[in-house]
């Protein structure tokens, strides 16, 4: 058995050391990240506060401003968020006097693709290109073909069936992320419109009730025409989307904040997935051109994909 020579110096891992980069962000970190995301578009401190409220943050005004996330339980004072998030610092950031680098996790840096698509020389010659271009294209194709083969070897994709499968999987992965971000963006637009219509409906409800109580008086309508039209338009919108019961504004804010955070987190992954997909599809197209025509996957590969 081993002997611990200096047991007093042994040290266990705390929770943060154990979780490392996978540990969830704290409430303060989430607030700071949200502030970083809205500040670039703000031209005044009031716009900054309005943008936070639109994202679902509850603001308590007093001697010191305090913030609470849509799904949070406690308020966090602004002066405890750090030197870059005090009222004075925010004003300096809005005016451009203070520049703060975003505190996002570093994005994976991929080695730039070194090969391009091979030129279809026969097709170009049919279009009237001359002998000079043909000479240039043949040399370029030789270089890109060599670089493509090196890429396949470096990524263990020398087997054609594996290349096809990897390219297909990469395309599905990118499309999956893209569909999610598009769906999130569409739902966020729907929430924004719904919030607007609910606000208009609530603001003009008393006026419309007065119109109804007046037995649809023409005089009353003339005096309150604008509000009555807005109220009817909101009611028509609710009917068009099949909304029987209006959701709470707080619920909508929480949903918007959740979708916004998810979409923001997915964008770097989506960019990398797109680059990887394009790279693999280009490599496959080059291989097909080198072989003379697109090959069909082997029967064993077809059985595996069923």
Each residue's pLDDT tens digit, 32-77: 888 888 888 788 998 889 888 877 889 998 888 999 987 678 899 9
State the Cα angle at 67 between 62 and 70, rounded to 5°: 140
- Whether the Cβ atoms of residue 201 and residue 246 lie closer than 8 Å to each other: yes
Last residue of a domain, one of 47, 79, 95: 95
Residues 153 and 265 in one domain: yes
Provide the pLDDT for residue 111: 66
Say which DSSP state 24 is in. Answer: P
Secondary structure (DSSP) of 55-92: TT-EEE-SSS-EEE-TT-SS-EEGGGS-GGGSHHHHHH
Residues 87 and 136 in one domain: no
pTM exceeds cut of 0.85: no
Provide the pLDDT for residue 4: 45
Residue pLDDT, tens place only, 106-122:
445 556 778 999 999 99
Last residue of a domain, one of 76, 95, 114: 95
pLDDT of 181 over the 90 cut:
yes
Residues 149 and 89 in one domain: no
Distance CA 166, CA 148 (A): 15
Distance CA 143, CA 155 (A): 19
Residues 160 and 262 in one domain: yes
Residues 254 and 293 in one domain: yes
Residues 259 and 198 in one domain: yes
Judge whether 163 lies within some domain: yes
Residues 56 and 163 in one domain: no
* Percentage of the chain modeled with pLDDT above 90: 57
The two tokens of residue 110 are 């991929």
The sheet with strand 58-60 has its strands ordered as 58-60, 66-68, 76-77
Judge whether 102 lies within some domain: no
Pairing of strands 66-68, 58-60: antiparallel
Q: What dihedral do alpha carbons 232, 233, 238, 244 form, nearest 10°?
A: 0
Domain residues for the domain of 284 are: 124-305
pLDDT of 17 over the 70 cut:
no
pLDDT of 273 over the 80 cut:
yes
Judge whether 167 lies within some domain: yes
The dihedrals phi and psi of 76, each to the nearest 5 degrees, come to: -120, 125
In sequence order, the 6+-apart residues with CB closer than 8 A to the CB of 277 are 167, 170, 171, 173, 174
pLDDT of 302 over the 50 cut:
no
pLDDT of 200 over the 50 cut:
yes
Instruction: Count other Cβ atoms within 10 Å, centred on residue 231.
Output: 22
pLDDT of 13 over the 50 cut:
no
Last residue of a domain, one of 75, 95, 115: 95
Judge whether 53 lies within some domain: yes
């Amino acid at each position: 058995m081993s002997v611990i020579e200096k047991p007093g110096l042994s040290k266990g891992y705390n929770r943060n050391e154990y979780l490392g980069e996978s540990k969830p962000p704290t409430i303060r970190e989430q607030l700071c990240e949200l502030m970083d995301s809205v500040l670039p578009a703000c031209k005044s401190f009031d716009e900054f506060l309005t943008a936070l409220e639109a994202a679902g943050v509850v603001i308590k005004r007093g001697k010191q401003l305090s913030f609470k996330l849509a799904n949070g339980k406690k308020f966090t004072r602004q002066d405890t968020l750090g030197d870059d998030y005090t009222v004075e610092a925010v004003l300096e950031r809005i005016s451009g006097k203070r520049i703060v680098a975003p505190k996002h996790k570093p994005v994976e840096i991929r080695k730039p693709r070194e090969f391009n698509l091979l030129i279809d020389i026969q097709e170009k010659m049919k279009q009237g290109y001359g002998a000079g271009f043909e000479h240039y294209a043949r040399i370029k194709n030789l270089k890109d073909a060599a670089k493509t083969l090196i890429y396949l070897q470096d990524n263990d994709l020398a087997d054609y069936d594996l290349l096809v499968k990897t390219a297909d999987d990469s395309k599905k992965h990118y499309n999956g992320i893209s569909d999610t971000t598009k769906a999130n963006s569409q739902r966020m637009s729907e929430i924004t419109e719904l919030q607007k219509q609910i606000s208009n409906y609530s603001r003009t409800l008393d006026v419309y009730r007065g119109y109804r109580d007046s037995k649809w008086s023409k005089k009353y309508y003339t005096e309150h025409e604008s509000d009555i039209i807005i109220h009817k338009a909101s009611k028509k919108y609710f009917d068009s989307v099949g909304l029987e019961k209006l959701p709470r504004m707080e619920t909508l804010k929480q949903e918007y904040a959740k979708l916004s955070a998810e979409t923001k987190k997915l964008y770097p992954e989506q960019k990398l997935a797109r680059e990887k997909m394009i790279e693999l599809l280009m490599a496959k197209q080059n291989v097909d051109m080198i072989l003379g025509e697109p090959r069909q996957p082997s029967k064993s590969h077809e059985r595996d994909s069923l």
